[in-house]
Amino acid sequence: MRPTAPSTAMVSSSSHLTIRHGEALRFLLEAAEAASKEGLDVWQFAVEIGQLRVLGLSHTDLRCLLCWNYLEHAQELTTAVTGKRSFRRLMTLVLPQRTCFVLTAKGRVIASRYRAVSTRGAEIATGMPIAATGSAREAPRWDAKACRLWWRKHLIKEFRRPAANQELVLAALEEEGWPPRIDDPLPPSRHIDPKVRLHDTIKALNRHHLQRILHFGGDGKGRGIQWILVE
């Protein structure tokens, strides 16, 4: 059963989209496009809340996207017997277990624009700026010996204690010349979900900055890491 849209009025916000918001919208757009390609209703490819949490979204992030009318949500009722996915519409901002999300028409427009500009550092046409990605001419600098991350003459972050995962990411970015995105460089582990580990590493990379010049984010699929300059 396809859930109908909640009757609660959802008002678009003038707040800026964060990197997490944009990557989640792009992730949901890929799911919607996959459903269309297979000739199925978009709800058959609805994205589970757990997948969005792995991307770094909090419940507050998800509720904001609902309030801005970028997402619809419903609780999945599917069982092994029913086969085809079915849902119960959610009329409020409650997020129970098995909550799933799809893009609204407005959300698809914003997600498409975000995907189109995210590699160029442009602004979304709604006036919600996405900070520019790094350029080939100028890039951060990771001093592995001193364990310091620099932008120009500005010290961004200094590690006074070992942080193996963060240092591996920064070393990989430095080795590759700081492209806008790199694949997850962390070695595999049998006991750790790589997406969760990458997510935790990205969160740690964004902590304890001496100056807010850089921001790290996921690639929306849990398989890579990106960096941007923030105004």
Rounded to 5 degrees, φ, ψ at 189 are: -140, 135
pLDDT, tens only, 37-74: 999 999 999 999 988 887 778 899 899 999 999 999 99
107 three-state secondary structure: helix
Res 126 pLDDT > 70: no
What is the Cα–Cα distance from 30 to 108, expressed in whole angstroms? 10
Every domain of the chain and the residues it spans: 19-117, 141-229
201 three-class SS: helix
What pLDDT was estimated at residue 146? 95
Q: Give the pLDDT confidence score for residue 212 in this predicted structure.
A: 86
pTM over 0.85: no
Q: In what order do the strands lie in the sheet with 148-151?
A: 141-143, 148-151, 154-158
DSSP helix/strand/coil, 186: coil
Tell me the one-letter amino acid at 225.
Answer: I
The share of the chain scoring above pLDDT 90, in percent, equals: 50
Strand 181-183 to 224-229 pairing: antiparallel
What CATH class has 19-117?
mainly alpha
Nearest Cα residue to 29 out of 121, 124, 112: 112
